[in-house]
Amino acid sequence: MTSFRKAVEARDPDAMAATLAENVVFRSPVAFKPYPGKAITAAILRGVLRVFEDFRYVRELSGDEGRDHALVFEARIGDARVEGCDFLHFDDDGLIDEFTVMVRPLSAAQALAEAMAAQFEQIQREALA
């Protein structure tokens, strides 16, 4: 099990941030433009902790060399059921340098977009702090 997964399951934002490389690139399921950098990625992940309810990983897949992981999850945003996957790539130091999230169905992606849009001012403040 990855240290990131353990941190998420413990709902520990500091431990989650500790798994990120300074040059991590976060790719959102609802925004085309990637978010580069540890500060904004950690702030986004804190926002996700506030938005997702009943979050749980249901499966973990690993690549042959252990640098790629896919963490399949289920969650809820209000009445919307969310299924998704966190795709993680680890650098030579064992830190996440690429983080891509996919979600389904479309209604869940729309609910996530709305919920995260409501969080974005706070996310930006946290990234700058």
Domain count within the chain: 1
Closest by CA position to 21, among listed 1, 34, 4, 7: 4
Residue 82 banded pLDDT, cuts 50, 70, 90:
very high
Residue 66 banded pLDDT, cuts 50, 70, 90:
confident
- Long-range Cβ contacts of 55-63 (<8 Å, 24+ apart): 55/8, 56/9, 57/5, 57/8, 57/9, 60/1, 60/2, 60/5
What is the domain-level CATH number for residue 30?
3.10.450.50
Mean pLDDT computed over every residue of the chain: 94
Mean pLDDT (whole number) for 44-67: 93
Q: Say if residue 1's pLDDT is above 80.
A: no
> Which residues form the domain of 94?
3-128
